[in-house]
Amino acid sequence: MRQKILVTRKISDLAEEKLKKEFDVQLNPTDTPIKDDDLSKLANNFDGIVSTGWDNLGINFFEKIERKLKIISQVGVGYDNISILSAQKKKIKITNTPDVLNESVAEITILLILAASRRATEGFNLVRSYKWKNLPPDMTKTMIGNSVTGKTLGIIGMGRIGRIAAKRAKAFGMKIIYNNRNKLSKDLEDGAKYYSDINTMLPECDFLSIHTPATAETKYILNASTISLLPKHAVVINTSRGSTIDDDALIDALENKKIYAAGLDVFNNEPNLDKRYLKLDNCFVLPHIGSATHETRLAMSMMAVDNIYCYFNKKPLISEVV
């Protein structure tokens, strides 16, 4: 008898076809979000779930789960939408899709660095509003931004994505410094300078990019106190998780020119981000699209499906969380 698998959102066609060859599958071809209560009821009819970060798989979800569900395969490297402790209590395996999105997230990091430093939000709005023609011909003030060449990029979290972002930034002539839980080996550092204390590193940063997971340790790692250590010309970049930044502190810093700019792809409470960000000319924002390339989303979908396949065929999981 074939196991039953629920796919909560639309994933890549090739991944869906592969899944259907091995299992009885309920897909979501219209990509309509499943309400929390409906999802917990549905889940009890399935042996496995292919989930996404949009699904709320918290404590309430697991309290309603009976014994049938055995694995949740998340499409995404993050899994802060899942109550890991609850999953462990229910003996439900959790997997994710790390590494395959490293390059695409690093690319978005570079995009944010360039866009924030070169005032892309202001430039875009000038063209779209037809106000470009009204700008005075001022060679020293009109849309003058900051160059990235020769500047120092500080990275918080020098994992795979952080290291790829560093490599890309070096191509622009940027100098790399970093803070990490542990100092990297010389080959992984690739010339970057290590700071064991984040407070010591921050004053040296022309740009600061966050690449950490969402944990209790990293929550609001950038707050009023740490932001105050940055130079006034600093640019803050975040492609990790919204919870790493205290919105009130960053917005205050941007509004009052305590720092130069920010480039953000992730937010607290997304998609319901703090609307004050949208009023700031010195904040370039994107709708959490770090992994949004055809190649990456296919790879993520296939890895999630492969984790399901491995579990039910008694093979080692590719990327087990718990």
Q: What is the pLDDT of residue 141?
A: 87
Q: Identify the DSSP state of 272.
A: S
Residue with tokens 């690319």: 107
Q: What is the pLDDT of residue 204?
A: 98
Beta bridge pairs of residue 156: 179, 210
Cβ atoms of 48 and 70 closer than 8 Å:
yes
Which of 119, 163, 288, 297 is catalytic? The answer is 288
Instruction: Give the separation between CA 316 and CA 244, rounded to whole angstroms.
Output: 32
Cβ atoms of 86 and 59 closer than 8 Å:
yes
Which of 107, 204, 270, 320 is catalytic? The answer is 270
CA 146 from chain centre, in angstroms, equals 25
Strand (E) or helix (H) holding 235: strand 235-238
Cβ atoms of 300 and 315 closer than 8 Å:
no
The amino acid sitting at 251 is I
Instruction: Give the separation between CA 321 and CA 87, rounded to whole angstroms.
Output: 11
Whether residue 128 lies in the annotated active site: no
Instruction: Give the separation between CA 23 and CA 227, rounded to whole angstroms.
Output: 50
Whether residue 119 lies in the annotated active site: no
Residues comprising the chain, all counted: 322
Q: What is the pLDDT of residue 279?
A: 97
Kindly report the CATH class assigned to 4-100+294-312. Answer: alpha beta
Tell me the pTM. 0.95
Whether residue 211 lies in the annotated active site: no
Starting from the edge strand earliest in sequence, which strands make up the sheet with 24-26, in order? 24-26, 4-7, 48-52, 71-75, 93-95
Which of 241, 276, 295, 297 is catalytic? The answer is 241
Tens of each residue's pLDDT in the chain, 322 residues: 899 999 999 999 999 999 999 999 999 999 999 999 999 999 999 999 999 999 999 999 999 998 799 999 999 999 999 999 999 999 999 999 999 999 999 999 999 999 999 999 999 999 999 999 988 888 898 999 999 999 999 999 999 999 999 999 999 999 999 999 999 999 999 999 999 999 999 999 999 999 999 999 999 999 999 999 999 999 999 999 999 999 999 999 999 999 999 999 999 999 999 999 999 999 999 999 999 999 999 999 999 999 999 999 999 999 999 9
- CATH 3.40.50.720: which residues of the chain? 4-100+294-312, 102-285
Cβ atoms of 112 and 265 closer than 8 Å:
yes
Cβ atoms of 290 and 104 closer than 8 Å:
yes
CA 252 from chain centre, in angstroms, equals 23
For residue 211, give both structure tokens. 């690449």
On whether the 102-285 domain is CATH 3.40.50.720, my answer is yes
